[in-house]
Homo-oligomer: A and B are copies of this chain.
C-alpha cells in the first residue's frame, strides 16, 4: 500500500478513448489499495492549438496571458479524467495548479515551483479519493496563473512526489522504459531495470528524450524514486534512482547515447597564449550559440588547434563569426564539418573500472572508424565521428560492452 504519483503525458491522454484507458489503469492501482495522485498533461495537440490561436493575434503573445490561455489544456484533461474515474465508481477530485496550491515565482511561461501546499491533497487522499492534478501549471503569490514551460508536467509530478514524500513517481510515456540504446539502431537493445539519476541525465541530454531533464535533476535533488513506464502496455519500466540503492544494477556501461544534430568547428594555428579560448568563444556565446564539446590540444611551436561543436542549425552562423575573427587572432584557418555525429558511453561503473576507454576505442578502430574528437566526464566518454559511421559505431559499442545481456 504505497503512495504513488502517476504522470500521464499528452499522448497518453490524447483522446477520450485514451483517457478511459488511463482511468482503467488508475482504477486498477486504486483497487490494489494504493493512494494515488495523478498528474496529467494537455491532450496531445491541444497546447499547440492554443498557442496557434495566440500567434494568430501576435507573434510574441504577452507571457501572462499566454499562461492563462495554455493552462486551460490541462484543466480540460483533469475534468475528463475525473469523469472517467467516476464512471468506474472510483472517487476522484480534480485540482488546477492554483487550486493545489502550487506556488511558483512569476516568471511566466517558465516559472519555477517555490512551494506546494499539500493539505488539500492530503485531505482527499485520507478520504479515499484519487487526486487528479493539472501538470505544467501553478500560480504566483498574487494568484496569477503561471506555467512551468514545455514538459513541465514531469516536473509537477516529481515536485508533488517530493512534497508528499511519495513512495514512487511514475512517469507514463509512449516507451516502456529506458533502453541501453535506441532500439531502432540496435535490435538487441535492452530495457534497463534501473539507472542512476546521473546516468539518466547524461542519456537524456545526449538524445534519449524520455524524460524532461529538469524533472530528473529535481528527482535526484529530492531523492524521489522515478519510474518510466508505458501507458499502453503493462511492464515494470525503468526505475531511476540513486547509486547506492541496493537493487541497483552496477554494470560498467549502462547505455550508449548518440546525437547527430551537431557540427564541428576548428580554428587551427592559433597562437598558444593565455586568453585565446575566451577570445574565440565569447563572440559565439554573444550570438546566443550554445557550445557543446570543447577540445584544445597541447600546442606546438607556440601554436595550437581549438575545436568545438555547436548545434547543426548554428553551424553557418558560427563559421562566419570565426572567419571574421581569424585574422584578428592571427590564426591560420577555420575549418568546419557539419557531417559529424557524437557517440557516448554512459555508466557510473566507469568510475571504478580502468580500461573502459580502451575497450571503446578498440571497438571503433576494429570497424575502421576514425575518432575526430574525444571528451570525457566521470561517467561518460564521448567521441565525435563521421556521421556515416554512426549506426555502425553504436552497434559495435553495444556489442563490445555486452549490453544486450543483463549483468549478473
Q: List the interface of chain A (C-beta within 8 A of B).
A: 16, 19-20, 50, 53-54, 56-58, 61-62, 64-66, 68-69, 71-72, 75-76, 78-80, 82-84, 86-87, 93-94, 96, 98-99, 143, 145
Contact = CB atoms under 8 A, between A and B. Distances in A.
A79 B83 contact: no
B57 A16 contact: yes
State the main secondary structure of chain A at its contact with B: helix
Nearest to A74: B72
Contacts of A75: 68-69, 71-72, 75
A57 B83 contact: yes
Contacts of A64: 93-94
A58 B72 contact: no
A65 B94 contact: yes
Counted per complex, copies of this chain come to 2
A84 B64 CA distance: 13
Nearest to A61: B83
A4 to B, nearest CB: 22
A119 to B, nearest CB: 12
A108 to B, nearest CB: 12
A44 to B, nearest CB: 14
25 contacts: A16-B56, A19-B57, A54-B80, A57-B80, A58-B83, A58-B84, A58-B86, A58-B87, A61-B83, A62-B86, A64-B93, A64-B94, A65-B80, A65-B82, A65-B83, A65-B86, A65-B94, A66-B79, A66-B83, A68-B75, A68-B96, A69-B75, A71-B75, A98-B98, A99-B143
